[in-house]
Structure 1
Amino acid sequence: MKIVTNIKNVPPAESIYELSVSLNNGSNLPLKTYQGKKLLLVNTASDCGYTNQYEDLQKLYQQYKNQLEVIAFPANDFKEQEKGSDADIAQFCKVNFGVTFPLAKKSVVVQSNEQNNIFRWLTTKSKNGWNEQPPTWNFSKYLVNEQGILTHYFDPSISPLSEEVIKAISNRQ
């Protein structure tokens, strides 16, 4: 149950708002669209013990939609638990969990030459200002505040509806 926090509120060396997400429907989503909102960025998989967290992510998204954007990043990096195509993943998420938040194009989230540019930013201290914690498994969660500062990393075992995540989103101590 690991949580890593940007205690000193270290700002990023490179702005996350300069990056875009390639969505699974083929469109491009500039993150500057969400300036002024928190972002919860989560690597996901459809065949994982944590897959039911999609339901909690959707509840969180609906509950905090005025102040939070959730973006899922399907990846096949951990024990090949995301074998489907982008269309299969979108269908699975909609039918089984009613997901309405954005789904990125399936990509690599672990450190490598092919790593998704958002996850490269999230896990590279020289970009985000402080964090080098890579995703430990599917459903690792990274929280970016309204000013584009990475504030938290939450291990996969921490529910999106946990007290720790809710406190971080609502700025409660």
Structure 2
Amino acid sequence: MRIIVFILSLIFLASTPMTASAKTAYDFAFTGIDGKPLPLAQFEGKVLLVVNTASECGFTPQYEGLEQLWKTYGEKGLVIVGVPSNDFGGQEPGSSEEIATFCKINYGVTFPLADKTVVKGDAAHPFYKWAGEQAGLMGRPKWNFHKYLIGRDGRFVDWFSTQTKPTGPKIKAAVEAALSSTSP
């Protein structure tokens, strides 16, 4: 009997999310590309699009679309947070300074950027563990430029794959719907 209880306890613990205490995206913080704290709580009441990025990827031109989305909807309450990651194909090998310079010079990026961050596996940043739990197995990043949409209340809304263009109809409709929400 004790063995059964022990095994059931292990199963329960293994299935309990590691980020169970986190209720919203506002419970997380990144380190900014400038080395300063980048708490998501500073964006409370805004809609967030959190995107893992890379400078040497075939999808890197999505920076342009992300910047366009930011300029179109930023004043309405959208915040885009770029999260550089070297997790997929080693396509973000640069230093923070190199990444920031690349983004500014090549794509005119003005939205907030985090420092290079692990977004997959056991060492993933807690935000990515939480968002992955919210999105389910299929909604976890499988490549660069995976996108998570977070509502004004800090709760997970949706995810978009690498192939989904930032200025495409799917993301625009989801962003507009999230922006029209009266929460919080």
With the shorter chain as reference, the TM-score category is 0.7 to 0.9
Separation (CA, whole Å) in 2 of partners of 1:159 and 1:119: 20
**Deviation above 3 Å: which 4+ runs of structure 1?**
none
Is residue 38–residue 114 contact of structure 2 (8 Å, CA) maintained in 1? no
For residue 96 of structure 2, what is the aligned residue in structure 1?
Answer: 86
For residue 59 of structure 2, what is the aligned residue in structure 1?
Answer: 50
Aligned AA for 2:150?
V
For residue 164 of structure 2, what is the aligned residue in structure 1?
Answer: 158
Separation (CA, whole Å) in 1 of partners of 2:164 and 2:109: 19
Q: Residue 96 of structure 1: CA displacement?
A: 0.2
**C-alpha RMSD of matched pairs (Å):** 1.5
Q: Does 1:110 align with 2:120?
A: yes
Q: Residue 42 of structure 1: CA displacement?
A: 0.3
Partner deviation per Cα, 1:17-69 (whole Å, 9 max, x = no partner): 12112111010022111111100000000000100000100000010002100
Structure 2 stretches of 5 or more lacking a match?
A: 1-20, 179-184
For residue 150 of structure 2, what is the aligned residue in structure 1?
Answer: 144
Decide whether aligned partners of structure 1 residues 123 and 90 sit closer, same or farther in structure 2, where only a CA change above 3 A counts: same
For residue 25 of structure 1, what is the aligned residue in structure 2?
Answer: 34
Structure 1 stretches of 5 or more lacking a match?
A: 1-11
For residue 136 of structure 2, what is the aligned residue in structure 1?
Answer: 131
State the secondary structure of the residue aligned to 1:171.
helix
Separation (CA, whole Å) in 2 of partners of 1:13 and 1:21: 15
Is residue 24–residue 156 contact of structure 2 (8 Å, CA) maintained in 1? no
Q: Quick check: which one's helix share is greater?
A: 2
Separation (CA, whole Å) in 2 of partners of 1:62 and 1:150: 22
For residue 46 of structure 2, what is the aligned residue in structure 1?
Answer: 37
Q: What count of residue pairs does the alignment treat as equivalent?
A: 156
Question: Scaled by the length of structure 2, what TM-score is found?
Answer: 0.81
Q: Residue 131 of structure 1: CA displacement?
A: 3.3
Q: Residue 13 of structure 1: CA displacement?
A: 6.0
Is residue 22–residue 130 contact of structure 2 (8 Å, CA) maintained in 1? no
